[in-house]
Amino acid sequence: MAIVPKFSAMMSLLGSGCIISEVYADHKRKKSSVVKRILFGMSITDLCMSGAWIFTTWPSPVETPVAFAAGNTQTCVAQATFLQFGNCATPIYNGSLAVAYFLKVKYNVHESDLRKIEYLFHIPPLLIAASTTIASLPMTLYNNNLYVCWIAEYPLGCNQSYNHPPEERDCIRGDNATIYSRVPLTDSDATRL
């Protein structure tokens, strides 16, 4: 699992790179459109996510019990920052793209009218992604999450504040990370980690 994601991430990186270069070439030829610029934004955010996935476990701190861990806390935080931004912005950009197509196809909205509201397609994905990415930094939520650094408690399976009394809490970093990353685990799930 430390190696396999590298291949799909490389393919995604290549695909996003091709889209970016095509849209940029169209922009230089004055053939750009709102839909193409949304696709450009989505591909940029996908580059963040795919680029982070290529490294899989490499940025994880050396003391982490995962294969090929060669980093430290800072490299782990760096990977997680790019991953969080891309994981958040890319699907929202996908929604923006769907709305733009919906407006063009269903309501026959002209390109000039779409240009007037284009900022509404770019601001939500970037603002929401940047907000969640930045908010996670002071909460020390970025830690190794088995195959990649992202939102996780450290050490994995530690007793978090949301479901343990103060005397049993033992998380060093990322206290309550489970709440921010997924549906909270039960105590029996956490012990299996």
The domain of 178 spans 155-193
pTM of the predicted model as reported, rounded to 2 decimal places? 0.89
Same domain, 21 and 87: yes
Same domain, 108 and 180: no
pLDDT digits (tens, 9 = 90+) for 50-104: 999 999 999 999 998 899 999 999 999 999 999 999 999 999 999 999 999 999 9
pLDDT band at 147 (very low <50, low <70, confident <90, very high): confident
Q: Give yes or no for residue 190 having a pLDDT over 50.
A: no
Same domain, 178 and 147: no
Tally Cβ neighbours within 10 Å of residue 128.
13
Q: Give yes or no for residue 192 having a pLDDT over 50.
A: no
Per-residue confidence (pLDDT) for residue 184, from 0 to 100: 47
Task: Confirm if 15 and 32 have CB atoms less than 8 A apart.
Answer: no
Distance spanning both ends of the chain, measured CA to CA: 16
Same domain, 189 and 145: no
Which residue type does 102 have?
A: F
Give how far Cα 30 sits from Cα of 25, 38, 112, Å: 9, 16, 14
Task: Confirm if 72 and 61 have CB atoms less than 8 A apart.
Answer: yes
Tokens, residue 38 = 């949304």
Q: Give yes or no for residue 129 having a pLDDT over 70.
A: yes
Same domain, 60 and 119: yes
**In whole angstroms, what is the distance from residue 168 CA to residue 153 CA?**
15
Q: CATH number of the domain at 63, please.
A: 1.20.1070.10
**In whole angstroms, what is the distance from residue 13 CA to residue 109 CA?**
32
**In whole angstroms, what is the distance from residue 48 CA to residue 26 CA?**
23
Same domain, 104 and 164: no
Same domain, 69 and 159: no
Task: Confirm if 175 and 161 have CB atoms less than 8 A apart.
Answer: yes
Same domain, 20 and 104: yes
3-state secondary structure 82-146: HHHHHHHHHHHHHHHHHHHHHHHHHCCCCHHHHHHCCHHHHHHHHHHHHHHHHHHCCCCCEEECC
Same domain, 167 and 147: no
Task: Confirm if 110 and 48 have CB atoms less than 8 A apart.
Answer: no
Task: Confirm if 162 and 184 have CB atoms less than 8 A apart.
Answer: yes
Tokens, residue 127 = 């603002």
